[in-house]
Structure 1
Amino acid sequence: MTVPKTGILVLDSSDPEPLARFYAALLGGTVEPAPGDPDLLLVPSPTGIALAIHRDHGQAPPSWPRPEDSQQAHLRILVAPEALDEAEREAISLGARPVAAELNGTRLDRRSDVRRCTDPAGHPFVIAASPGVSR
């Protein structure tokens, strides 16, 4: 018999409260304290995205998108194809920074259905068009 499990993506941050508010606003969710852990904030969203922000005083932002580095992990936010530009503008208005992976001045990813960003603490995420998502 398999033990019941659930999962959550946890991002480290030296200042978790503003980052949790950023993702709550971006995902239409809320910020809630984690029971029994004062260094963890939960960011549940109505679409089922499970995200948490953990206080880590020594956290350093990832170096992505350098071609020689891997993203390691990233959050992929799915939107209706016709809402991609609007979703990107919303993320940037909340404090996201758009990024483009380049090597010797040549853009590595020319896909028009994915927008690469970092959150205010430097964690990578993408906003991706998905035909299965409706407005």
Structure 2
Amino acid sequence: MPIAELRAVALDCRDHLALAEFYAAIIGGTPVRDEEEPDWIELKGHEGTTLAFQQSPGHVPPKWPSVDGSQQLHLDLTVEDIDAAEKQILALGATLLDAGPRDRDWRVYADPAGHPFCLCVG
């Protein structure tokens, strides 16, 4: 029997609404702000674990790859056509960090706040 259930994955960032809208364009859903917690936004209406965004004015983006400023965490997102998905996320403001060999089934990007994430062929 598990001890707990995963409620959400939360990302710190300087502009939580902009980052929530970036991920909504990729995985679906709608950014929802709790009136009692103005520094917290959750992405609702998509399948899977809740993705949340916390306003953090002092946020320093992780460096990838780096032993001094590790990535801290990253998201793996499954896609059918990695080339088509790459064009779309770059247009949304993602940055390519590691394309690797073009026949590899995953690539590493940074979101607009600097968090690394991977597109993976599933």
Residue 83 of structure 2 corresponds to which residue in structure 1?
85
Residue 106 of structure 1 corresponds to which residue in structure 2?
A: none
User: For residue 74 of structure 2, what is the aligned residue in structure 1?
Assistant: 74
Tell me whether 1:56 sits opposite 2:56 in the alignment. Answer: yes
Q: Where is the strand percentage greater, Structure 1 or Structure 2?
A: 2
Cα distance in structure 1, aligned partners of 2:110 and 2:34: 24
Q: Is the 8 A contact 1:65 1:100 kept in 2?
A: no
Does structure 1 conserve the Cα–Cα contact (< 8 Å) formed by 2:105 and 2:120? yes
Query: How does the TM-score come out when normalised to structure 2?
Result: 0.85
Quick check: which has more Rg, 1 or 2? 1
Query: How far has the Cα of 1:43 moved from its partner?
Result: 1.1
Tell me the residue number matched to 1:123. 115
Moved more, 59-68 or 47-56: 59-68
User: How far off is 1:45 after superposition?
Assistant: 4.6
The percent of aligned pairs where both chains have the same amino acid is 37
What's the secondary structure of 1:25's corresponding residue? helix
Quick one: structure 1 residues 88 and 72, their matched pair in 2 at CA, closer, same or farther if it must change by over 3 Å? same
Secondary structure in 2 aligned to 1:41? strand
- Code of the residue aligned with 2:53 in structure 1: it is I
Give the Cα separation in 1 of the matches to 2:117 and 2:87.
Answer: 14
Aligned residues: 121
CA deviation profile, 1:57-77 (whole Å, cap 9, x unmatched): 111000112366543210110
Summarize deviations over 1:75-121 as a string: whole Å, max 9, x none: 110112xx1111111111100000128xxxxxxx5461101100001
Whole-angstrom CA distance in 2 between matches of 1:116 and 1:26: 15
Aligned equivalents of 1:4 and 1:19: distance in 2? 27
What is the TM-score with the length of structure 1 in the denominator?
Answer: 0.77
Give runs of aligned pairs for residues 95-134 of structure 1, distance below 5 A. Answer: 95-100=93-98, 110=101, 112-130=104-122
Equivalent residue, structure 1, for 2:15: 15
In structure 1, what residue type is equivalent to 2:120?
A
Question: Alpha-carbon deviation of 1:10?
Answer: 0.4
Residue in structure 2 matched with residue 28 of structure 1 by the alignment: 28
Instruction: Say what the alpha-carbon RMSD is for the aligned residues.
Output: 2.4
